Amino acid sequence: MPSTRTAALAAVLSSAASVVAAFTSPAVTSSATSKKSTTSIYSTVDPSVVTKKEYQDICGVDFDDRSMQDRLRKTSYLYPKHVEVIEDFEPLVNQMVDDILLETGEKAWQPQDYLPDLAADDWLQQTKDLREAAEGIPDEVFVVLVGDMVTEEALPTYQTLLNTFEGCDDPIGTTDSAWAKWSRGWTSEENRHGDLLNKYLYLTGKTDMRAIEVTIQHLITSGFNPGARKDPYRGFLYTSFQERATKVSHGNVGKVAKDYGAKDLQRICAKIAGDEGRHEKAYQSFCTEILKRDPDGLLMEFGDMMRGQIVMPAELMTDGKDAQLYENFSAVAQRLGVYTAIDYAEIIQHLVDHWKLGELTGLSPEAEKEQEYICRLPTRYKKLAERSMNKKKDDVVELNSFSWIFDRKA
Ligand SMILES: [Fe+2]
Ligand SMILES: [Fe+2]
């Protein structure tokens, strides 16, 4: 047996060596000592010096647009089955690009539609109106608004992550696949959120914009790990949850703003929440399609993800001063009722109901276990949330100072 194994190994090694040789062009192998070939490689960028044939000889391949695209498309995946499944419903994703995402350009809403027009004759009055309305908004609402804005402004992180989900990446930056179009379209819509909130806050004059900008820079530098592990199933489970969470949070900030008479801020938050609602729909329908094709696979990933908590995208935020910044911001959001532990439980409940997870049949024994676990979660979370919120009711509210509002306490 060992000798057979040795022979097999030798065969593999020798075939690997011939594969390497086959992909190493003569120009490259001889270039180490040859002055001529070094010069050739040096000038490959200049088409007037190097012919296409020479270029191909040097590189060993024909780099026309088509073959470049093919080379860049991944052929080996960590989750080949998951990629196969999501590729199977590409037509639906194409439809989502048309039906769910807004038209771009003139027809799409833009941040400027909800802000004073500084080029208008009455720009000063428009700005004064915004600032007057903002006077009535308490600091704690500003803290939540800033936290939400910082989260939105870390969009480069989210687009980067979306591009790690196998099968939905955009390898050349202008890839024509439905998934790549979705990812770019989604990003272009999300880009308006941070933009709008940032400009609004700037105009109010109520917040320390520099401290906020420091926080944004730190957050993008730190990144965040939602535990998707490049798996599109996990990625879309995460985004299904997260888009709904942001819809809830922005929507509630809007309601609070209205209570304090800031109708302009209410409109802004409602507009953003509307976007999140559309995105939520799309990501949840991607998961519905996965469930039709691979219910076992999705349930296994969902169960595994739920054993850890769903990580919030701004978890690693810091302003360089407050080591507990995220926790302190979350505490204010919870106190204001903008985003609470009950919301967390209700989002899971919504996903369980929306995907009718309790009604799935024909599952593997392992997936059945996960089904049972996931379906019981919302009630368990809700009880825990209610218990901890009731307990907190009696606690003395501890205020923290935030650099975002010039170290005032909230
Ligand atoms: Fe957003
Ligand atoms: Fe979003």
Of the pLDDT bands very low, low, confident and very high (cuts 50, 70, 90), residue 373 is very high
Q: Is 318 in contact with 403 (CB distance < 8 Å)?
A: no
Write out the residue limits of the CATH 1.10.620.20 domain(s) in the chain. 80-409
Model confidence at 68: pLDDT above 50: yes
CATH tag for 80-409 (out of 1.10.620.20, 2.60.120.10, 3.30.70.260, 1.10.3720.10): 1.10.620.20
pLDDT value, residue 115: 98
How many contiguous H segments (helices) and E segments (strands) does the chain have?
18, 2
Rg (CA), the chain: 27
132 assigned to active site:
no
Model confidence at 282: pLDDT above 80: yes
Q: How far is CA 401 from CA 17, 93, 131, 342, in A?
A: 64, 45, 23, 26
- Mean pLDDT within 65-82: 80
Of the pLDDT bands very low, low, confident and very high (cuts 50, 70, 90), residue 58 is low
Angle at 244 between CA 239 and CA 250, to 5 degrees: 120
Q: How far apart are CA 399 and CA 227, in angstroms?
A: 32
Beta bridge partners, 401, equal: 409
pLDDT digits (tens, 9 = 90+) for 106-128: 889 999 999 999 999 999 999 99
Q: Is 215 in contact with 150 (CB distance < 8 Å)?
A: yes
Measure 354 CA to ligand 2 centroid, in angstroms.
19
Q: What is the percent of the chain with per-residue pLDDT over 70, rounded to a whole number?
A: 86
Global confidence as pTM: 0.83
Token representation of residue 344: 């967390």
Q: Is 218 annotated as a binding residue?
A: no
- Mean pLDDT within 160-179: 93
Q: Is 243 annotated as a binding residue?
A: yes
152 assigned to active site:
yes
Q: How many CA atoms lie within 13 A of 360 on its CB side?
A: 29
pLDDT digits (tens, 9 = 90+) for 249-259: 999 999 999 99
275 assigned to active site:
yes
Ligand nearest to the CA of 152: 1
- Mean pLDDT within 76-82: 93
Identify the residue with better confidence: 105 or 27: 105
Q: Is 132 annotated as a binding residue?
A: no
Of 109, 164, 304, 318, the catalytic one is 109
Of the pLDDT bands very low, low, confident and very high (cuts 50, 70, 90), residue 72 is confident
Measure 279 CA to ligand 2 centroid, in angstroms.
6
Of the pLDDT bands very low, low, confident and very high (cuts 50, 70, 90), residue 260 is very high
The DSSP annotation for 246-276 comes to HHHHHHHHHHHHHHTT-HHHHHHHHHHHHHH
Model confidence at 361: pLDDT above 60: yes
193 assigned to active site:
yes
Measure 193 CA to ligand 2 centroid, in angstroms.
9
Of 39-43, 59-63, 389-393, which range is least confident? 39-43
Of 195, 276, 294, 370, the catalytic one is 276
